[in-house]
């Protein structure tokens, strides 16, 4: 999916391919449940979650995969062992197929992010 022009997350989810929608809706629900006090916004054409106007989490349906953006280096470092072996860029975790998403790992990353502010990369 090219960068979305949707103005809200509902609009974004309506645009994603059907075969990915269920996983992305589940990811959104997980973000909303774990990131209390964060604001859900659209930033850079994707759903993002901000604390004090600073985005810390995001997700997107890309052409080849679903991306989970974790902008906190401290959280990535704390989870280095569990993230080993996953397809990762500097700030994103990529899943080629929706059924391969490790929602337990993502929940734990969200909880660690929500636990307190930290430096954004």
Alpha carbon distance 88, 49 (integer Å) = 20
The pLDDT of residue 2 is 59
Domains of the chain: 9-114 (3.90.1150.200)
The pLDDT of residue 1 is 54
Alpha carbon distance 76, 14 (integer Å) = 30
- Predicted model pTM: 0.94
The pLDDT of residue 91 is 87
With the C-alpha atoms ordered 82, 89, 87, 58, is the resulting torsion angle positive or negative? Answer: positive
Alpha carbon distance 57, 70 (integer Å) = 5
Which residues make beta-bridge pairs with 48?
Answer: 41, 58
- From first to last of its 121 residues, the chain has per-residue pLDDT tens of 557 889 999 999 999 999 999 999 999 999 999 999 999 999 999 999 999 999 999 999 999 999 999 999 999 999 999 999 999 988 899 999 999 999 999 999 999 999 999 989 8
Alpha carbon distance 95, 68 (integer Å) = 8
The pLDDT of residue 90 is 85
């Amino acid at each position: 999916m090219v960068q979305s022009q949707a103005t809200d997350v509902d609009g974004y989810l309506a645009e994603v391919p059907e075969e990915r929608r269920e996983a992305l809706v589940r990811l959104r629900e997980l973000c909303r449940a774990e990131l209390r006090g964060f604001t859900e916004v659209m930033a850079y054409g994707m759903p993002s979650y901000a604390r004090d106007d600073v985005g810390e989490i995001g997700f997107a349906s890309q052409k080849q995969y679903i991306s989970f953006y974790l902008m906190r280096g401290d959280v990535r470092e704390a989870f280095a062992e569990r993230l080993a072996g996953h397809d990762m860029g500097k700030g994103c975790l990529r899943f080629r197929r929706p059924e391969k998403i490790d929602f337990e790992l993502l929940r734990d990353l969200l909880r660690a992010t929500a636990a307190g502010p930290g430096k954004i990369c």
